[in-house]
A and B are shown apart, each in its own frame.
Chain A
Amino acid sequence: MNRSLLRAYVAAAAVLAAAPLALDAYWVDVLNNVGLYALLALSLNIILGDAGLFNMGHAAFYAVGAYTTALLNTRMQLPILWALPVSGLVAALFAALVARPVVHLRGDYLLIVTIGMGEIVRIALVNDVFGLTGGANGLFGISRPSVFGYRIRRPQEFFYLIWLFVALTVFLFHRLEQSRFGRALNYLREDPVAAEGSGVDTARYKLMAFALGAAWAGMTGSLYAAKMTIISPESFSFWESVVLFLIVILGGSGSIPGVILGAFLVVGLPELFRGFASARMLVFGLVMMVMMVFRPQGLLPLRTVRFKKSDVAKAEVAP
């Protein structure tokens, strides 16, 4: 990443590190939620932004991670921080399994299939599948994470846990962008046929993108479960998937800082406007429509901008 971006990150980190000292518990908790959504959006960004796979069922991976942690913790007394990577792994395996038969589908169709899968997961959770998920009641009594004996309980404490994880994720994902894997994903997003022709095994990379994105979403689910101590299917609805999808698109598909900014806006702004609760959603819808007309590439897009068909046409005609 370039110097100015690095400077921006350091400055943001400094401000955030000081935030819990200046803000009350409520606003810290809002920032916690921003952090969780940023993590989820970053994980979706791998699938949607980098690989260009239309996934609107991301909440399902989040749910799998959260429920895995909840089950391991309440039934087998596994401490949260041990359950975290396990949840990520389970979510990744789940993603690989369900994505395999559908990963070759064309854009819009994949979108619909992922919506369907998200809904199926939610319905399964509500119906207490295998007697494990607690149905609509969900699972409760999840313990808090403890680091070397120190129990993380208050919003301020969770703040540091979540945002350290965010920082780690940002670092890792930027490295990923530059790596061979990241470049392969970009390639298959831009032109799958050429990519395949150049020897990129598109199916395999697509699955890997799904698995990686799911793994991160699963781990975030783990943090969420520990923070709320109760989880229920309502938190993993289609609407959640839509919100994540929007954060990625509105922030700038494929762009890590864009996605983080998107999380701040999409989660933070409604909290600022709590007074106008019912109009909130209306404005949301309006913003979506307007953004797509005036700035479809998102707020902080990657430096490469897509060309509109009409521009290409014009360029071809020019002498």
Chain B
Amino acid sequence: MEQFFQQLTNGLAVGGIYALIALGYTMVYGVLKLINFAHGDLFTYGAYLGMTLLTSLFLQDRLGAVAGFLVLAVMVMGLVALFGVILERAVYRPVRESHRLAAVVSALGASIFLQNTLMLIYGARFQVYPDDVLPRVAVNVLGLEIPLMRIVVVLASVVMMAVLYFFVQKTTIGTAIRATAIDQGAARLMGIDVNRVIRLVFLIGPALGGAAGLLVGLYYGQVNFTMGWLYGMKAFTAAILGGIGNIPGAMVGGLLLGVIEALGAAYLSTAWKDAISFIVLILILIVRPTGLLGERVADKV
């Protein structure tokens, strides 16, 4: 039984990361109907940028642990958001009018380009975060040893999701985003600056992805230029699981997928862990394609 709860917490912690990345996917898909294959690579950029900034600016020494971390997070998120906007303007905007396939190919091309640029800059080997940036404290919850940082990760995901959710539901610009997601043409007719909305979405989504990258780098300590692929795939599965276009859905999907993976590894076989995620994906798409919490985009006939 102890193993069950331990695996549960393992799954939730990993799921928190999936959720953060999934939020980016789901927002972009909701508004543009585009699977941003490059999103996973933006996540990787977050991890690498975090490492570079951390080792060159010594924020921890200057500002103390907590403030240093927050400043670092803001910087990383800002930079990755910037990349996201550039990506949208340079790669996706020109193909917006074309066939769906063109956007898919562009997205793939962008992913390959980003990944290899990173490889050329940083080299093919693994890169390592400096040690001891985060406190290595473990908290004892109900008899289980849980590292504090894992709880922080899950909380951070939930908080960011909550903020995003209220933003989208309650503010004017949030409503504009939702309107654009439902019908771009009509939104334009209502006077919404669709380009601005899309730009905003490409600011927020990648920022969250970048934050996830930073957290992963800080917590696991090791980054490599291909990490975006696997995380991206899982996060996309999570987004679909929860309902693509649906913000709380991304959260639920992420956490649930993490747990399914951990329990699957524990009780079935660790070697098939990834296959389990893909099987979940396929089953959901067959049985309930709108996802658990329902899709929030209009269906094309």
A residues near B (Cβ < 8 Å) are 54, 101-102, 105-109, 111-113, 115-117, 119-120, 123-124, 127, 193, 242, 245-246, 249-250, 253, 278-279, 281-282, 284-289, 291-293, 296, 306, 308-310
Contact = CB atoms under 8 A, between A and B. Distances in A.
Contacts of B109: 284-289, 292
Given A278-B119, A293-B94, A288 B102 contact: no
B136 interface: no
Nearest to B283: A101
B300 interface: yes
Nearest to A128: B271
Contact of A289 (B100, B113, B236, B237): B113
A293 B109 CA distance: 12
A120 B98 contact: no
Given A285-B116, A296-B98, A123 B272 contact: yes
B170 interface: no
A107 B119 CA distance: 32
A112 B33 contact: no
Nearest to A290: B109
Nearest to A293: B94
A160 to B, nearest CB: 34
Contacts of B279: 116, 120
Interface string B64-90: 000000000000000000000000000
Given A113-B285, A120-B279, A278-B116, 11 more contacts: A127-B272, A127-B275, A282-B116, A282-B117, A284-B109, A286-B109, A286-B113, A288-B106, A293-B95, A296-B99, A296-B101
Contact of B112 (A105, A107, A120, A285): A285
A279 B120 contact: yes
A310 B278 CA distance: 38
10 contacts: A109-B285, A120-B278, A127-B269, A250-B105, A278-B120, A284-B109, A285-B115, A287-B109, A293-B106, A306-B99
Contact of A292 (B106, B271, B272, B282): B106
Contacts of A289: 91, 106, 109-110, 113
A282 B120 contact: yes
Nearest to A306: B99
B271 A127 contact: yes
B97 interface: yes
B285 A123 contact: no
A310 B91 CA distance: 19
A144 B232 CA distance: 41
Interface in B241-297: 269, 271-272, 274-275, 278-279, 281-282, 285-286, 289
